[in-house]
Structure 1
Amino acid sequence: MHCEALLAVQEPGRAEADFGRLDVETVIRNIYILFSGSELPVASENEEIMDLVQPSTPLPNWFTEEDLSAYASLYKKSGFRFALQVPYRLFERSWKDEADHPMPTDLKVRVPAMLVMGNKDYVLKLPGMEDYINSALLKENVPDLEIVFMSEGTHFVQEQLPEQINELIISFIKKHI
């Protein structure tokens, strides 16, 4: 059930057509409304993801109209292509055909790292995601990993709780310099 929404975004052209029906500001508004919850929105067979937001739905209280205008001005210039490529379309990329960039054999992260996620991030409900984040395999590949879950955080935790995130980053850096 949860993967259908990601598959729609991964399918080249589908999200672009869906987003293209609306002005840039409405697309960004809808994205922040849809992905600030703890449930992954799923469109039915006859819907697209942008159809899931009622126009009267307010923005999350931490995302202002000024934020929306600033983001819209940037996306009006760049479009949504890159935002759809990374990470939604490139994580399935095949390294086997990349003669110039063969798949590395040692993928271990050898520096201190920190993962900060919101407890209410819908990504945690993707099949296997929460198990992987808490697994020994992740710790094996990123041995010096500090994981922080923000209790009220959603997918946009860095925007929702900027002061707390900044404190975490500063503390992390101070601990490792």
Structure 2
Amino acid sequence: MDQIAHKFLHINGLKLHIAEIGSESSPAVIFLHGFPEIWYTWRHQMIAVANAGFRAIAPDFRGYGLSDPPAEPEKASFDDFVNDIASIVDSLAISKVFVIAKDFGTMVAYPFVLRYPQKIAGIITLNMAFMPPAAFKSHPLPEGFYVTRWREPGRAEADFSRFDVKTVVRNIYILFSQSEIPIANENEEIMDMVKPLTSLPSWLTDEDLAIYGDLYEKSGFRTALQIPYRSYMSLGYTEEVPKVEAPMMLILGEEDYALKVPGMHEYVKSGEVKKYIPNIETRYVPRGCHFVHEQFPDEVNQLILTFLHANKHLSKV
């Protein structure tokens, strides 16, 4: 971990934090985190790709971790995040980049790839497939679904405020590591779904949790609740069937609760996604959960490196 360097870039009026490792002359890979994650979620992958001859870059989104929050977090949008990533790539003088994204980070990655195809060497996403508005319609989930609860202004804030920040992150990691969709009972809050003595997943250490806790202690959850849960996502499609021409890999944990969202697994397995991304390959990790890259880093790293090496020639201008 000591090999990973940290710096701040002045981007779109804010000071954004990035972690990086690898030679500036090597093909670049940018990692986009989800929630409740931060740049640190990619620690295993960053070191692996750097050791394989690539340059790994992992930013904290605005309002997350060590990056400055937007002036008005409740007005932050996915477009802000997409523009930040484009500006980071330009600021680092990277002409072509591989994009690796997880969870809601994929909702930043896809519009970035669509808007700047000339900058893209390839894309890998974890947990979430490409879903334009017309592609996939999820069936309604119960009111206690965590996304529904967190979209309600003030609901998550009141729930989270009963605990210290580290406990909030701990509880979410435990919930999201399970194979069932997190749905609370009518008279239960999301944080109440985790019993106090529940153990952390075996692959997440107390030290890892302390690092996540410290970073969210700094940033809080204001921007995190806005993006992704309360913002309107406008992907800026310019065609009825938007297409990603770059090669892509989708990595899914077989026991990821997200695959149980009604219709999700069918959408992926049917091959419907190939209408939008013709050059996609899907890989499943046995026993993998929503944090498959932290749970089984060796398996995920091997998939990533195979993809990067196969498409390395595309990183050249």
| TM-score above 0.5 | yes
Deviation of the 1:12 alpha carbon: 2.7
The equivalences for 1:31-50 within 5 A come to 31-50=172-191
The 3 A distance-change label for structure 1 pair 163 and 73 is same
Aligned match for 1:16, one of 137, 154, 157: 157
2:246 is the counterpart of 1:142: no
Unaligned runs of 5+ residues in structure 2 are 1-139, 313-317
Kindly provide the CA deviation profile for residues 131-152 of structure 1, in whole angstroms up to 9, marking residues without a partner as x. Answer: 1112332011011111111111
The equivalences for 1:1-177 within 5 A come to 2-3=141-142, 4-90=145-231, 93=232, 95=234, 102-105=236-239, 107-177=242-312
Q: How many Å separate the matches in 2 of 1:165 and 1:82?
A: 29
Deviation of the 1:85 alpha carbon: 3.5
Task: State which drifts further: 106-115 or 23-32.
Answer: 106-115
Read off the aligned partner of 1:141 and give its amino acid letter: Y
Q: How many Å separate the matches in 2 of 1:102 and 1:2?
A: 27
Could you tell me whether the CA contact under 8 Å between 1:2 and 1:125 is conserved in 2? no
Task: State which drifts further: 12-21 or 155-164.
Answer: 12-21
The 3 A distance-change label for structure 1 pair 5 and 150 is same
Q: How many Å separate the matches in 1 of 2:200 and 2:233?
A: 38
The 3 A distance-change label for structure 1 pair 61 and 46 is same
Q: How many Å separate the matches in 2 of 1:27 and 1:94?
A: 25
The 3 A distance-change label for structure 1 pair 86 and 157 is farther
Deviation of the 1:102 alpha carbon: 5.0
Query: What secondary structure sits across from 1:46 in the alignment?
Result: coil
Kindly provide the CA deviation profile for residues 19-42 of structure 1, in whole angstroms up to 9, marking residues without a partner as x. Answer: 122100100110111111101121
| Aligned-pair identity (%) | 51
Deviation of the 1:2 alpha carbon: 4.4
Kindly provide the CA deviation profile for residues 89-135 of structure 1, in whole angstroms up to 9, marking residues without a partner as x. Answer: 34xx264xxxxx85432521110111111100000000111011123
Query: What secondary structure sits across from 2:300 in the alignment?
Result: helix
RMSD: 1.9
Kindly provide the CA deviation profile for residues 50-79 of structure 1, in whole angstroms up to 9, marking residues without a partner as x. Answer: 001111110000000000000001000111
* Bigger proportion of residues as helix: 1
Deviation of the 1:15 alpha carbon: 1.5
TM-score by length of 2: 0.50
Q: How many Å separate the matches in 2 of 1:148 and 1:39?
A: 21
Q: How many Å separate the matches in 2 of 1:160 and 1:2?
A: 27
Read off the aligned partner of 1:111 and give its amino acid letter: A
Could you tell me whether the CA contact under 8 Å between 1:115 and 1:148 is conserved in 2? yes
* Bigger proportion of residues as strand: 2
